[in-house]
Amino acid sequence: MSLDFILIKSHGQPLSLEDIDMDLAFKEEDYRSLAERFFDGVVWRGKDGLANMDDMSFELRPSDVSLSVTARGAGDTVAFMDNLAVLGAQQGVVVVDVQGSEILAPVGD
């Protein structure tokens, strides 16, 4: 199973994709640092990173506008995504499910 999502640094917590107020001062190097905080043991090859945790692998691609992530593996993707949404909300980062074109809100929000 593969899951694609993007992380975007935002001012506030938007309710829809149209409401995202992107932090334009947050650049590629900042997204790279964000990847290292959110994913354990990132190994970088050029601009692309790879992390393995919780029976999943994560391909990481930072840019000047977002951190693109592809998750693969047999791990509990639902639990992982909920944890990522909580962590992101705490740090002003919006998590967007690419397949569903929706913002992932922490459970309980």
**5 closest CA partner among 64, 82, 74:** 82
User: In which domain, by residue range, is 81 found?
Assistant: 2-103
pLDDT (tens digit per residue) in 36-67: 999 999 999 999 999 998 899 999 999 999 99
Q: Would you state the pLDDT for residue 107?
A: 67
Give the domain CATH number at 7.
3.30.310
Q: Would you state the pLDDT for residue 9?
A: 96
In a domain, 77, yes or no: yes
**What total number of domains does the chain contain?**
1
Whole-prediction pTM value? 0.91
In a domain, 109, yes or no: no
**106 closest CA partner among 47, 95, 2, 42:** 95
In a domain, 99, yes or no: yes
Helix (H, G, I), strand (E, B) or coil at 38: helix
Residue 77 has pLDDT above 70, yes or no: yes
In a domain, 108, yes or no: no
Q: Band of the pLDDT at 81, cuts 50, 70, 90? A: confident
In a domain, 44, yes or no: yes
- Cα dist from 93 to 4, 55, 74, whole Å: 16, 24, 26
If you ran DSSP here, which 8-state letter would residue 22 be given? B
In a domain, 20, yes or no: yes
